[in-house]
Amino acid sequence: MADLFEAAGLSPQAPSPLADRLRPQTLDEVVGQDHLLGPDGPIRRMAEAHRLASMILWGPPGTGKTTIARLLAKAAGYEFQQLSAVFSGVADLKKAFEQARVRRLAGQSTLLFVDEIHRFNRAQQDGFLPFVEEGIVTLVGATTENPSFELNGALLSRCQVFVLKRLDDAALEGLIDKAEAFEGRALPLEPDARTALTALADGDGRYLLTLAETLFNIGSAKPLSVKELGQVLQKRSPAYDKDREEHYNLISALHKSIRGSDPDAALYWLARMLAGGEDPLFIARRLIRAAAEDIGEADPLALVLANAAKDTYDFLGSPEGEIALAQLTVHLAAAPKSNAVYQAFGAAMKAAKETGSLGPPMHIRNAPTRLMKDLGYGKGYAYDHDQAEGFSGQDYFPDEMERQIFYRPKGEGAEARIKERLERWAALRKERS
C-alpha cells in the first residue's frame, strides 16, 4: 500500500529538514539541559539504571522534549511509541495501551510519549492512570504549559515533572556550529548578524536550525549584515501567550520590579508585555493595584496618577497612550514604598471575621428618633472639633473588643507626617483615658 511519500511522488530518500537531520543520537548530544542530563542529572541516572519513571517534560518549544523521550527509550531498552494529543483520541489511546500490554507479556517495556499532553481533556487524562499504575506503560508527556494548571492532580501525582530550560546563547551557538559542520560551510553572516540570528531564535533550537537552513538555501555570495538578515528572515512574535502562564509570569515581574524600586527593570517588563500583544488595560489594572498595595500613603498621589494613566490610555489608545503607562511605571517604581495600609486592611478584615456582629458602642450610634435617644444612642459622644487640639480620644471600637492597632505607618515619604500625627494622638488618648 502506498504511503504518503509515494502518494506525493516523493522517495523515502527525499531530504528532511535540517533540524531533523541534526537530531541528537545520544543523550550526550542534547544541548542546554545539563541540569537534567548531566552526570548527576535525574534523567541521566534513570537512563543509566535502565529503569524509567513516568514523567512530564515541561518546557518551551524547541528545547528537546521529543528528542529526550526518544533517546531515553533507546538508552533504557524500551519500545518507543508516540502519540500527539492534537491528533489522537480515545481509540488511539486504547490501541496504544493494548499494544503495550502485549509487549509487556513478551517481556518488553513501553515508553509511551504523548506530545502536547495538556491538550487531552480531564477524562482522557484519567484514562492513563490504571496503565501507568500497573506499569503497562511508562508515560513521558511533553507540554509547553504549566502542568499544575493543565494536568489532573491524580496524573501529576504519578509522574515526576522535569523543567526544560530555553536554550541559552552558548547552546544556540553550538547548534549553529553543528549545522555548519554538517553542511561543510559557514553561514553567510557578519558577526553581528550571527548574534542577531540567535536572538531571533528566542531560545528555540528547532526554530534556529530552520532559520539556518533558510540561509544555507539562499546561498548568499557575501555575508549578510543585520539589516539584510532582517530583510531575508521574518521575525516572529515573542513567546508570549496572553491566556497562559507567561501572561502571569510577566505581570508578576513588572509588579515585583516596581515593588523593588527598579524603574529600569519595570520598564523592560512593561515593554515585553506590550511587544507580546498584552491588553494595555490589563497592565493598567495591575499598576493601579501596585499604587494601592505597595505605595499607599507613602505617596497618596500615586493612586490618583495611576487612574489618570488608565484614563489617558482610554482616551489616546495605542501607541500614544502607552507612554502614560510608561510614565506611571517609572513613577511607581521611583516612589517611596509602604504596604502599611494593605497590611492594616488585611488585619482589619481578619478581626471583622473573628468578632462577628459586635455593634458599635452606644456613644457613636446614630440617634434619629426619641426612642433611640431614650435607649442611650449617642449619649456621651464628644464632638472632636469642639475638643482641645480637635481630638477627643474616645474609644470607637465595640465595648466587647479591646482597642486594636491595624495601621502601622512605615514613615516613608508622606507617611512620615501621618506617623507623627498618629503618635501624637496616641499620646493624647492615653492622657485622656
For the cut 90, the answer to whether the pLDDT of residue 411 exceeds it is no
| Contact by Cβ (8 Å): 245, 151 | no
N residues, the chain: 433
Q: How much is the CA Rg of the chain, to the nearest whole Å?
A: 32
pLDDT in tens, 253-276: 999 999 999 999 999 999 999 988
Per-residue pLDDT, 24: 93
| 73/109 Cα distance (integer angstroms) | 9
Determine the Cα angle at 84 with ends 179 and 206, to 5°: 15
Whole-number percent of the chain with pLDDT over 70: 94
| 133/100 Cα distance (integer angstroms) | 13
Per-residue pLDDT, 374: 87
Per-residue pLDDT, 113: 96
pLDDT in tens, 48-107: 999 999 999 999 899 999 999 999 999 999 999 999 988 888 888 899 999 999 999 999
| 3/389 Cα distance (integer angstroms) | 94
Q: DSSP assignment, residue 291?
A: I
219: left (phi over 0), alpha (psi -120 to 50) or beta: left
| 427/171 Cα distance (integer angstroms) | 65
Per-residue pLDDT, 123: 87
Q: How confident is the model at residue 129 (pLDDT cuts 50, 70, 90)?
A: very high
Cell of 418: 501621618
For the cut 80, the answer to whether the pLDDT of residue 353 exceeds it is yes
Is the pTM value of this prediction over 0.75? Answer: no
| Contact by Cβ (8 Å): 145, 246 | no
| Contact by Cβ (8 Å): 413, 299 | yes
| More confident position, 311 or 227 | 311
What is the residue whose three cell numbers read 481630638?
Answer: 391
pLDDT in tens, 313-336: 999 988 899 999 999 999 999 999
Q: How confident is the model at residue 7 (pLDDT cuts 50, 70, 90)?
A: very low
Average pLDDT over residues 172-194: 92
Collapsing DSSP to helix, strand or coil, 254 comes out as helix
Per-residue pLDDT, 182: 93
